[in-house]
Amino acid sequence: MKALELACLLLIIVPQVVLGTHDVYIVTMEGEPVVSYRGGVEGFPATAIDLDEDMDITSEAVTSYSLHLRRYHDKLLDSLLVEGTYEKLYSYHHLINGFAVHMSPLQAEFLRKAPGVKHVERDMKIQKLTTHTPQFLGLPTGVWPTGGGFDRAGEDVVIGFVDSGIYPQHPSFSAHKTDPFGPVPHYKGKCEMDPVTRRSFCNGKIVGAQHFAKAAIAAGAFNPDVDFASPLDGDGHGSHTAAIAAGNNGIPVRMHGHEFGKASGMAPRARIAVYKVLYRLFGGYVSDVVAAIDQAVQDGVDILNLSVGPNSPPTATRTTFLNPFDAALLSAVKAGVFVAQAAGNGGPFPKTLVSFSPWITTVAAGVDDRRYKNHLVLGNGKLLPGLGVSPATHENKSFSLISAADALLGSSATKYSALDCQRPELLNKRKIQGKILLCGYSFNYISGTASIKKVSETARSLGAAGFIVAVENSYPGTKFDPVPVSMPGILITDVSRTKDLIDYYNSSTIRDWAGRATTFQATAAIADGLAPTLYNSAPQVALFSSRGPDVKDFSFQDADVLKPDILAPGNLIWAAWAPNGTDEANYAGEGFAMVSGTSMAAPHIAGIAALIKQKNPKWSPSAIKSALMTTSNTLDKGSHPLRAQQYSTSEIMTLTRATPFDYGSGAVNPKAALDPGLVLDATHQDYITFLCSIPDVEHSEVSNITGSTCSSSSKVQQRPYDLNIPSITISQLRGTQTVKRTVTSVAAEAETYTIMTRMSPEIALEVSPPALTVLPGASREITATLTARSVTGTYSFGEITMKGNRGHLVRIPVVAMGFK
């Protein structure tokens, strides 16, 4: 006993001597969390439940075991570290057993060696992965009527948003002009009060609102004056994603006196639960996110939407799938919660995904059929295409052009970057009045310190007839989006068209001996750009959408998991915005915004998953994911194969034939997903077996992070691609491999399926049996045999198609690379 006391004394004394710089660490402990505890600790009955049961988080068993874990965390820290040298931020007890603590690296090392500690990992930052789409996806006519119409679509399903908060006064979240919202008995989340107004953030539509910032505060990143110590959205991102998934139906999108249509969420009667973890200036921290996820599942959400992700694959574990973030989501799925996560905005380059694990539905961003385009007509007859959601110049007439460079007030203005037209006080109003102001596009627009909105305000204050922003230099990777403005305006993005414009302007402008412009003879007219144009070549994979293949570790080795999983609209999406939001300078002070990102794609899937959950409340998250994937489309509206936006060798955007690494299984088809015929289901134990089968991953690491043990034969009998998911991916196909998949009927009647295959010639793909009949609720197994015919060093793509005699069509994408 004295030896133990001495060891504890040493542990206490050393951190007093050298503490070093403090960081936030996530610590995983031995012992099961609430969601998987099946007894074994004296005095504490089991709390784990089966998937088709609802956990009562207020029960004595859950409450007492949660308190037991929290006290154990506190006792451990008190026994090892000196009071005042560390700060425990969170106790995680529902999905994982552990805690987040602010301490020094030396203290973290001591904690790693302590009895009962499984894993210690330093916190990571996370980032945001930043209408018309209900009609594009066929919801009003094909899906909502099956659930009782838009006024019942998603009824009593709770979607949790782990994001930047919400602006509760927005009409998309109002409870006043809709049928009354009743209580949701299975949801037990709390509502914080606005510290300024002292009013609750909840209203019946919004059923929960909490914020998590302890890690951000400990890291010194949080500024309460800017970031709001409440669920209030100071960014805009969270309000936007919540409205896409669950915003009220039929909300007029009005801006600058023009109505752009009616906005609606995918599931307009679903409830919204807000878990704020993202902040204006710095993003967020994984330990805050894990706390939010733990709380959301404990509260009883049905769906989780994560439009956030890590900045890079985790470095502290041997595989991307084993980290506290993904482990918490695995436990969420075990608890019956469907998880949609944005794929990331690192496209069009390969291996840029920030969502890795097979239990998560990873969503890529598509460009839908609506595009906003405009054009400029020069006085010499040339027509220059551009972007500008704006009215036409007055009576469609032409007006004289004047460059900002020819309207400067004094030579001192040159030091202020006056040419990007952000500061009206630097420009001569008398010269500009009644003319179209020609401005330059600088790096300030990319960095966010300049905006098209500000150009519009500058031009209006100077009495201009309109404005042009012209891109003179190439900015590789820059995404140019049309911006709604209140006056005639256009952005010319093509550098060669800008040269045509400048050449015309210079040749038509008379100057004196000193080079000063004296007469402005160049004229132009800006067309009406308020109405969108609809295209059949949709959807397309958006340029920015992160691409596969999925990676299994920090060295970016390919994983035997297909990612992304599915494609959903994510480009130029109209939805609610927080008027005090700062995420998009062009929408500062506005109530709606049209923005792009896989952040916008994920809530489309979260909302559609809510509709599936409403119809099939007992389905597992993997069954919902399967329904979405196996019924998706690989053809666009024109019946052509999906295409992906890509860069050419000259860094010009082109379209190439898309692959599963761009879109996963395909573009979401909500109507078909409600009635998929067959699903491929996977249990929590299946996911553990998958983790245990990954080469070079120690079984102890799986146990330390997930709390579940591997069987001794996992690596021998199981391969990662044996996981029963609705895709097959083999990153290193040597010779011949057989892969089995189990399909389960969710149809009302027996159905016979004919099975067909399609595969690139480098790989031979055969499936048996060639046909099978599946009874309602029954399961059948199919076997796919893949043989590498040649070694090309590139992936081959194909699919297994199961066509039922009652109209169901099930597709399973197949991806493989032949190896010697």
Instruction: List residues with catalytic annotation.
Output: 163, 237, 599
Residue owning tokens 């690379």: 817
DSSP per residue, 339-359? EEEE--S-TTSTT--S---TT
Instruction: List Cα–Cα distances, 495 to 418, 599, 727, 758, in angstroms.
Output: 20, 30, 42, 43
Residues 385, 378 contacting (CB under 8 angstroms): no
H or E stretch at 690: helix 684-692
Instruction: Identify the CA nearest to 593 among candidates 732, 453, 444.
Output: 453
Please report, for residues 263, 471, 506, 514, the alpha-carbon distance to residue 441 in angstroms, rounded to integers and kept in the order given: 32, 5, 18, 26
Write the DSSP string, 386-399. Answer: EB-BSPPSGGG--E
Contacts of 50 (CB under 8 A, 6+ apart): none
Determine the Cα–Cα distance for residues 303 and 769; give it in Å rounded to an integer.
36
Q: Is the dihedral of CA 498, 499, 504, 510 positive or negative?
A: positive
Q: 462, 443, 661, 451: which is closest to 547 by C-alpha?
A: 661
Q: How far apart are CA 190 and CA 182, in angstroms?
A: 16
Residue among 682, 567, 571 nearest 631 (CA): 567
Measure the CA–CA gap between 331 and 309, rounded to whole angstroms: 18
Phi/psi at 44 (5° precision): -130, 105
Residue type, 3: A
End-to-end Cα separation, the chain, in angstroms: 59
**CA-CA distance, 306 to 343, in Å (whole number)?**
10
Nearby residues of 224 by Cβ (< 8 Å), 6 or more positions away: none
* CA–CA gap between residue 659 and residue 563 (Å, rounded): 11
**CA pair distance 159, 624, nearest whole angstrom:** 15
- Please give the structure tokens belonging to residue 427: 């420009």
Tokens standing for 332? Answer: 């969420």
Phi, psi for 404 (deg, rounded to 5)? -60, -30
DSSP, res 528: P
225 near 572, Cβ under 8 Å? no
* C-alpha span between 380 and 383 (Å, rounded): 9
Sign of CA dihedral 637, 643, 644, 647: negative
Give the C-alpha distances (Å, rounded to integers) separating 180 from 156, 176, 191, 450: 12, 8, 19, 44
Alpha helices in 137-223 (DSSP H): 139-142, 214-218
Alpha helices in 409-448 (DSSP H): 429-432, 443-447
Torsion sign, CA atoms 374, 376, 382, 384: negative
d(CA 137, CA 444): 36
CB-based contacts of 115, cutoff 8 Å, min separation 6: none
For residue 499, CA distances in Å to 55, 467, 490, 585 come to: 66, 17, 15, 27
> What secondary structure letter does DSSP report for 475?
-
Reduce the DSSP state of residue 304 to 3 states and report it: strand
DSSP strand pairing (206-211 vs 158-163): unpaired
